[in-house]
Amino acid sequence: MVKDIEIRSSPHLKRKMTVDRIMRSVVLALMPISAFAVWQFGLSALLLLVTTTGVAVLTEWFFARQSGQGNTIGDWSAVITGLLLGLTLPPGFPLWMAAVAAFVAIALGKALFGGLGYNVMNPALVGRAFVQAAFPVAITTWTPAFAPGRFVELIPSTLTLPFMQPVPVADWVAGLNLDGWTGATPLAMQKFQHLEAPLTDAFTGLIAGSAGETSALLILLCGLWLAWRRMLDWRIPVSVLAGAALTALPFWLLDPHLYPSPGFVLCSGGLMLAAWFMASDMVASPVTAKGAILYGLFIGVLTVVIRLFGGLPEGVMYAILLGNAVGPLISSWTQPRVYGSK
């Protein structure tokens, strides 16, 4: 086989670690999380994930073709963006808004910068930040998990007509006759009413929240699998979580009634998903080992600071976007010293 002989400088022995191989593994790792979201929230969550993924792939196809890059769908990165975006949205989010989010994620977050490998920020979070600013009410309207008819009926707001206000879900939720449902996520309840949900529920995911952010346990397992396969830099999620827990600890010790416990901080909201699957975005995070740790700590600290002192219950999205923005700076600060130089 003449083709296999390489007349180049080393390395000659390589693993077949290509972009689409890594991306396929990430999609695979996201599958259990998506399945859990569908089991928990039913048909609406399924449609939401299908919509965001479909629109993301279509947008990717359109822009890649316009810019003459050929077909870039095969690298699976648009699928990841679509899936991650869908997992961070509330399960009853109107599909047309989800489509807007997915379009913005790929068009504004990725295609305008030149496609995969050139995006400054995590595309899924760019899309989510856009709809957070555009539709602040819809994106904070939560519906209960494990509604009895979730596999045969949709959450009423899912099929809202394009450009129209979401169909109110209050009556539908009241019709479910659920005890103790307040319409708030554990995170919002902690922030505004200082009621902490049981840690085991938050850990296993038997709570309300965005479609795929509820089960910290499942996300942890999927993330660990990727890290074990060396498909993500373990330093980033570990330092994000460490940064968050260490920032929350002194406040909790000061006043356990007012501030959440570090365990609750780690298991609630989107922190777990964001730490393992979004902060670790290979393009938008620093490349050096020291840089990765700094970057992770920055995101973790900022998340907790926003949660505790900001106007919003969840801060991990803005923390990661800001982390992405300072990523290149961190990279250049932490360049390893060339051996022998001062």
Partner 1 sequence: MAETANQGAGKEASAFLFEREESLTADTFIRGLWKENPVFVMLLGMCPTLAVTNSTLNALGMGLSTTFVLIFSGALVSSLRNWIPKQVRIASYIVIIATFVTLVDYLIQAISLELYAALGAFIQLIVVNCIILGRAEAYASKQRLLPTIVNSLGTGVGFTLALLSLGTVRELLGSGSILGVQLFSDNFQGWVIMMLPPGGFFVLGTWLLFFNWLRLRKQHPAPSGATVHAR
Partner 2 sequence: MNADVQTQPPPAATPAWLMLRTLVVIAVISGLLVVVAYQTTLPLIADKQRILTERLVFQVLPGAATKRDFVVTAERHLEPASAGVVGDPVYAAYDAAGRLVGLAITGTGAGYAGPVRVMFAYDPGCRCITGSKVLKSNETPGFGDKLDTDPAFLENFKALDASLNAEGTALANAIVTVKHGTKTDPWQIDAITGATVSSRAMGRAANQAAQRAIPAIQRELATLSQPN
Q: Rounded to an integer, what is the distance from CA 118 to the centroid of its chain?
A: 19
Give the chain's radius of gyration (CA, Å): 21
Residue 264 binds: one of partner 2, partner 1, none (C-beta under 5 to 8 A by kind): none
DSSP 3-state of 14: coil
For 17, residues 6+ apart whose C-beta sits below 8 A from its C-beta are none
- The CA distances from residue 199 to 12, 144, 192, 253, 266, in Å, are 50, 18, 18, 17, 10
In the set 17, 134, 170, 253, which binds partner 1 (CB under 8 A)?
134
In the set 166, 270, 291, 313, which binds partner 1 (CB under 8 A)?
166
Q: Which two tokens stand for residue 59?
A: 């947008």
The amino acid occupying position 154 is L
Q: Which is nearer to partner 2, 39 or 181 (CB)?
A: 181
| Interface with partner 1 in residues 69-128 (CB under 8 A) | 97, 108
Residue 136 is a binding residue for partner 2 (CB under 8 A): yes
Residue 10 binds: one of partner 1, partner 2, none (C-beta under 5 to 8 A by kind): none
CA–CA–CA angle 241, 187, 246 (5° rounding): 30
Segment interacting with partner 2 (CB under 8 A) among 7-15, 60-68, 132-140, 278-286: 132-140
| Interface with partner 1 in residues 16-75 (CB under 8 A) | 65-68
Residue 74 is a binding residue for partner 2 (CB under 8 A): no
Neighbours of 16 (CB within 10 A): 5
Cis peptide before 286 (omega within 30 of 0): no
Q: x/- contact string, 294-333, with partner 2 (CB under 8 A)?
A: -----------------x----------------------
Residue 318 is a binding residue for partner 1 (CB under 8 A): no
Q: Which two tokens stand for residue 131?
A: 């709809």
In the set 114, 117, 136, 148, which binds partner 1 (CB under 8 A)?
136
Residue 66 binds: one of partner 2, partner 1, none (C-beta under 5 to 8 A by kind): partner 1
d(CA 308, CA 249): 12
Residue 65 binds: one of partner 1, partner 2, none (C-beta under 5 to 8 A by kind): partner 1
Residue 171 is a binding residue for partner 1 (CB under 8 A): no
d(CA 124, CA 280): 13
- The CA distances from residue 130 to 99, 104, 123, 144, 226, in Å, are 12, 7, 11, 25, 29
CB-CB contact of 89 with 211 (8 Å): yes
Q: x/- contact string, 216-255, with partner 2 (CB under 8 A)?
A: ----------------------------------------
d(CA 141, CA 234): 33
In the set 8, 163, 177, 311, which binds partner 1 (CB under 8 A)?
163
Positions that interact with partner 2 (CB under 8 A): 136-137, 140, 192, 311
Positions that interact with partner 1 (CB under 8 A): 65-68, 97, 108, 130, 133-136, 138, 160, 163-166
